[in-house]
Structure 1
Amino acid sequence: MNIFADIRALTLTALADMARDGTIPDGLDTGNVAVEPPRDAAHGDMATNAAMVLAKPAGMKPRDIAEALAPRLTADPRVEAAEVAGPGFLNIRLSARVWQDTVAAVLAEGTDYGRSDMGAGRKVNVEYVSANPTGPLHVGHTRGAVFGDALASLLAFAGHEVTREYYINDGGAQVDVLARSVYLRYLEAHGKPVEFVDGTYPGDYLVPVGEALKAKVGDAYLDKGEQYWLDEVRSFATEAMMDLIRSDLALLGVEMDVFSSEKALYGTGRIEAAIDTLDAKGLIYRGTLEPPKGKLPDDWEPREQTLFRSTAYGDDVDRPIMKSDGSWTYFAPDIAYHYDKTKRGFDALIDVFGADHGGYVKRMKAAVAALTDGAVPLDIKLTQLVRLTRGGEQLKMSKRAGTFVTLSDVVEMVGRDVTRFVMLTRKNDAPLDFDVDEVLEQSKDNPVWYVQYAHARIMSILSKASESGINVSDADLAGADLTHLGHSAEQALAAKLAEWPRLVEIAARTQEPHRVAFYLYDLAQALHAHYNRGNEEPALRFVQDDAEISRSKIALARAVSIVIASGLGILGVEPAQQMR
């Protein structure tokens, strides 16, 4: 049930009837006709812009269209009133029965209420995290992991077929540095003195990896040049780091469907195939780039390179794909990887990158557009930095990692559910302040606690009602006489539930899961306000002396808890059964 979609369909049907009887011209484009909540709730339950968007193409005054449309809408039993406002907006008031039916629909559909077929089974690949396999995930990766996972869940809830994917960047020089760092820990495990230099990774997380390497090979690599051990230690270390990363992701409740390896692209012809595809389109050439902005002529040595003509697809400059020694640049395997994703039958690709990858967006989108002739869109989402504080001080270091706060550090401090919810309290491309002290406070200013408390409060209401002999199963509550929900405050709370299906579609369309977190806070606020109002108006209390009246009011509370649980499920957060 999506009452906003239903009333919009009613509006379009009425407009079609008006066109047939000559009230408005035939063939008008109604694509921009919207039905949405009014800016001021006092104006009604919904408002439509139909008259405003059709006036100019119809050659009519907006109010004339609105006044003709209003009686056609009120002819429907769901519409109690339709009033023309201002230059031609139409404010709509719905009957109490609509809100009662909303509560019944939530109880009948459970956490599937609000699920949409908007995506129509469209196959979407969401690639996120994809951190270099050189250490544990840090707090920045945490935000990308939560955002990507919630976005994937949101798109699936809205009817897309979603694949979650992690791209292992195991083909670059940083993996050689990892291998050398693990070798130092291997030497250390043998009692040898070591010194971490030349950018090697000093974190304690490599200590057990070095010990594990010793357990596997004994003293076979002692006093040997790296030509004897680099390849094998690289593979050993990468596997160990991916085990660590998978463990970190599990702490957040993140499970990937696919792990793809960059290294697996080399020597298979897949990079060559992708570049050949671009070459066949005349997009690969030998040329010389202009010096980067800010470089003086004597700082720049022009050289001929093999380039991808990415400027043909909106990039600022063409991009090198091959080094002077004939090896591929880091961009080439990334082109091949995305080409592989398009070949796997996805209708759309989404990459979630960290803030430091902003300069990579245009070239990657250009490559995918060129490879698919624009048939497979690539959307790249950037997650901005997280400022983690406690006691008023910014947290920057972790003994385990050596140089940064890890994902596991954050989860250990505040828990998985708090971590995930807080990471979604800002739009992904806005910086996020994460105050450890604040997110553990029990106050209205803490959105995590506030939403969880709303769900737990309803669980308490259900428990007390059950103890008093009221059957509070969803099936029984669905059969309650909901006409007892006649108070405007009860209808307002039900109206908030009616916004959920619309919110899901908007959030999925804009790819903004933070909208779900915002909605849940607003719904929790409405629930708490209604509960407190019952202290002053006994008729609004959820548990009444009359059992049948109680069942109807408890049905409303239960419907709120179902929608909260559904929204938290998209965010990957478990709803609280009780507050401690």
Structure 2
Amino acid sequence: MPMTKTLYAAYAGHLSAALDALEQAGVLPAGLPRTNVTVEPPRDTSHGDLATNAAMVLAKGSGTNPRALAEALVAELVKVPGITSAEIAGPGFINLRLADGAWIDELRAIAALGADYGRSNLGGGSTVNVEYVSANPTGPMHMGHCRGAVVGDALATLLEWSGHKVIREYYVNDAGAQVDVLARSAHVRYREALGETVGEIPEGLYPGEYLIPAGLALAAEFGDKYAAAPESEWLVLFRTRAVAAMLAMIKDDLALLGIHHDLFSSEAELQAARKPEEAEKWLRAQDLVYDGQLEAPKGKTIEDWEPVELPLFRSTKFGDDQDRPIKKSSGEWTYFGADLAYHFQKAQSADALVDIWGADHAGTVKRIKAAVAAMTGAKGKPTPFEVKLVQMVQLMKGGQPFKMSKRSGNFVTLADVVEMVGKDVVRFTMLTRKPDAQMDFDFDKVVEASKDNPVFYVQYAHARIRSNLRKGAEAGIAPSDEHLDLLGAEEMELLKVAAQFPRLVESAAVAREPHRIAFYLYDLAGAFHSFYNVGNDRPEKRFIVIQDQAVTSARLFLAAQIGQLVRNGLAILGVEAVEEM
């Protein structure tokens, strides 16, 4: 992968060299940690092009005050080619202004790197396991799963752009009571396929029509062998076949969104391999599991509640509010007990773990993080583990809640939504708000041609750029970097927004927040549209000025690179850029 030091990284390097010079001069003691030193755009762009907090961060360790250190640092920074001024603000922040040539060099870097502009080796090749979706294999994907699926997939791509190796994993919950219900539901559809009139699906079973194909397949494979047979003869068999059918359906549904996992891990296989028992044995040896009794439920009286001795994990040692059982009184593993073993297994092949969960699982975050910290930290540093919570999506149309799907029985399927508005609209829209914020998905709004619709606004910017490049070609004018010195102040402002992309990708990856890319693309599109609209009132500012081919070639070169950035950002989000609208 081609790597070039982009503008923010280059000036971070210049700052580091200036700090080295102060160390050599004895102004700074050697070896002061610089981890928290930043080079970033100032909050107010009128203050300059770049800002650094170096003097604020390093002053205490150097035994001086921030402003005095800033003055010494400014004396070094003004020596750097490309820096036209360095000014101290407030108690010791330093604002830098750059020559236009520095930004033009970055424009050429965008052109040189093309589809790789924004990639970095920040992750150093470390492996991150991102587990997302992990819906129960009991039916098709619905819109309750969609947001987490998109967030997880975009995060995985974002981490790859930042130099990580990524394992995309789906944890199949195929060992709980819900898959027995699935098997019984499939048996009803199996009998129906054999010609029996089954009537209304019994309460407690899955009523959706999506199980009809599974019933037909079972009838074709087994005939009437299990039609009247006792449940004990067919439950495990039908469970296996039905889960396989549902997983195939889930994979097809996810493929509609362009989502493909590297690994599908089975809870049933995990338990068959006795991994939870191994985890329990290991935890007991570390005195992290003991046999004890749960406290009675607080705030209410349950008449038939009796204290039962259970194996409890000492999650209070890791910040949880009470110790948690890893087994039920029946001897079955709790969800927590199975998850504990599963995460320990994942940590064997990854340097860091990220789980994308629905917000309804918020109550289990503390305990599973405690378990992972305990199990991976016993022989050294714990494996970094984060849980990102995703809120549900409220489906709307015309300002009213959207009606249910017939195919599912009681929910709107992902396939229904993709068919209505398309993959790209769904994916981008799911990233237009922070995942932990509530979201309304209005079928009318997401296809609206207005600035208020981020999907349209970003795609329209790319389509406008492609249109201007085509018009330039028709006029015999190609994008060229030969006359970039003719670009003016308005073009520079657009370029400054563009140059933030690499640092934005890195910061989004560190924060595990892919929605930042969508936010950036909206800002970039806004900057582009603003410049474009200047030409409506000032014809000399249009991208194509036929009578001035030098300026036109330079502006088309700028436009082409903005278009490249839109494509790069959309690629991280899993969205295709449109050529025309």
TM-score tier by shorter-chain length is over 0.9
**How many angstroms apart in 2 are the aligned matches of 1:55 and 1:573?**
45
Q: Determine the structure 1 residue equivalent to 2:70.
A: 66
Count of residue correspondences: 572
Please give the root-mean-square deviation of Cα atoms over the aligned residues, in Å: 1.6
Shift of 1:541: 2.0
Q: Determine the structure 1 residue equivalent to 2:91.
A: 87
Residue 431 of structure 1 pairs with residue 438 of structure 2: yes
Q: Determine the structure 2 residue equivalent to 1:566.
A: 568
- Quick one: which of 332, 346, 353 aligns to 1:341? 346
Q: Determine the structure 1 residue equivalent to 2:178.
A: 174
Shift of 1:442: 0.1
Larger displacement relative to structure 2 (527-536 or 20-29): 20-29
Q: Deviations over 1:197-244 (max 9, x none)?
A: 341111111122212222222222222221221111111111110111
**How many angstroms apart in 2 are the aligned matches of 1:58 and 1:362?**
39
**How many angstroms apart in 1 are the aligned matches of 2:354 and 2:338?**
18
Shift of 1:389: 0.5
**Is the CA contact (8 Å cut-off) linking 1:127 and 1:352 kept in structure 2?**
yes
Quick one: which amino acid aligns to residue 66 of structure 2?
P
Q: Determine the structure 1 residue equivalent to 2:318.
A: 313
Shift of 1:108: 0.6
Shift of 1:535: 2.5
Larger displacement relative to structure 2 (102-111 or 52-61): 52-61
**How many angstroms apart in 2 are the aligned matches of 1:571 and 1:494?**
22
Q: Determine the structure 1 residue equivalent to 2:477.
A: 470
**How many angstroms apart in 2 are the aligned matches of 1:297 and 1:245?**
40
Quick one: which amino acid aligns to residue 408 of structure 1?
A
Residue 382 of structure 1 pairs with residue 407 of structure 2: no
Shift of 1:25: 4.6
Q: Determine the structure 1 residue equivalent to 2:425.
A: 418
**How many angstroms apart in 2 are the aligned matches of 1:25 and 1:310?**
43
Q: Determine the structure 1 residue equivalent to 2:549.
A: 547
**Is the CA contact (8 Å cut-off) linking 1:390 and 1:436 kept in structure 2?**
yes
Q: Determine the structure 1 residue equivalent to 2:292.
A: 287
- Quick one: which of 128, 132, 136 aligns to 1:132? 136
- Quick one: which of 481, 484, 500 aligns to 1:482? 484
- Describe how 1:186-335 pairs up with structure 2 within 5 A: 186-189=190-193, 190-296=195-301, 298=303, 300-335=305-340
Larger displacement relative to structure 2 (47-56 or 87-96): 47-56
Shift of 1:147: 0.3
Quick one: which amino acid aligns to residue 200 of structure 1?
L
**Is the CA contact (8 Å cut-off) linking 2:8 and 2:40 kept in structure 1?**
yes
Q: Determine the structure 2 residue equivalent to 1:534.
A: 535
Q: Determine the structure 2 residue equivalent to 1:48.
A: 52
Q: Determine the structure 2 residue equivalent to 1:408.
A: 415
Shift of 1:449: 0.2
Residue 15 of structure 1 pairs with residue 19 of structure 2: yes
**How many angstroms apart in 1 are the aligned matches of 2:507 and 2:18?**
24
Shift of 1:396: 5.2
Query: Cα–Cα, structure 1 residues 537 and 76, in superposed 2: closer, same or farther, change >3 Å?
Result: farther
Q: Deviations over 1:460-513 (max 9, x none)?
A: 0111111112335xxxx3x5332222x111111111111001101110010000
Larger displacement relative to structure 2 (121-130 or 35-44): 35-44
**How many angstroms apart in 1 are the aligned matches of 2:152 and 2:539?**
45
**How many angstroms apart in 2 are the aligned matches of 1:534 and 1:92?**
30
Q: Determine the structure 2 residue equivalent to 1:459.
A: 466
Percent of residue pairs bearing the same amino acid type: 55
**How many angstroms apart in 2 are the aligned matches of 1:298 and 1:358?**
29
**Is the CA contact (8 Å cut-off) linking 1:187 and 1:194 kept in structure 2?**
no
**How many angstroms apart in 1 are the aligned matches of 2:524 and 2:190?**
55
Larger displacement relative to structure 2 (523-532 or 191-200): 191-200
**How many angstroms apart in 2 are the aligned matches of 1:141 and 1:506?**
26
Shift of 1:182: 1.1
**Is the CA contact (8 Å cut-off) linking 2:6 and 2:109 kept in structure 1?**
no
Quick one: which amino acid aligns to residue 541 of structure 2?
L
**How many angstroms apart in 1 are the aligned matches of 2:251 and 2:28?**
61
Residue 184 of structure 1 pairs with residue 191 of structure 2: no
Larger displacement relative to structure 2 (327-336 or 353-362): 327-336
**How many angstroms apart in 1 are the aligned matches of 2:466 and 2:273?**
56
Q: Determine the structure 1 residue equivalent to 2:41.
A: 37
Q: Determine the structure 1 residue equivalent to 2:398.
A: 391
Larger displacement relative to structure 2 (109-118 or 184-193): 184-193
Residue 3 of structure 1 pairs with residue 3 of structure 2: no
Q: Determine the structure 2 residue equivalent to 1:443.
A: 450
Q: Deviations over 1:226-284 (max 9, x none)?
A: 12211111111111101110011001000111111111123323222222221221122
- Describe how 1:362-373 pairs up with structure 2 within 5 A: 362-373=366-377
Q: Determine the structure 1 residue equivalent to 2:153.
A: 149
- Say which SS state the counterpart of residue 241 (structure 1) adopts: helix
**Is the CA contact (8 Å cut-off) linking 1:8 and 1:35 kept in structure 2?**
yes
**How many angstroms apart in 2 are the aligned matches of 1:352 and 1:205?**
26
Quick one: which amino acid aligns to residue 489 of structure 1?
E
Structure 1: which 5+ runs fail to align?
none
- Which TM-score applies when normalising by structure 2? 0.95
Quick one: which amino acid aligns to residue 251 of structure 1?
L
Larger displacement relative to structure 2 (370-379 or 247-256): 370-379
**How many angstroms apart in 1 are the aligned matches of 2:192 and 2:274?**
40
**How many angstroms apart in 2 are the aligned matches of 1:571 and 1:285?**
45
**How many angstroms apart in 2 are the aligned matches of 1:512 and 1:499?**
16
- Which TM-score applies when normalising by structure 1? 0.95
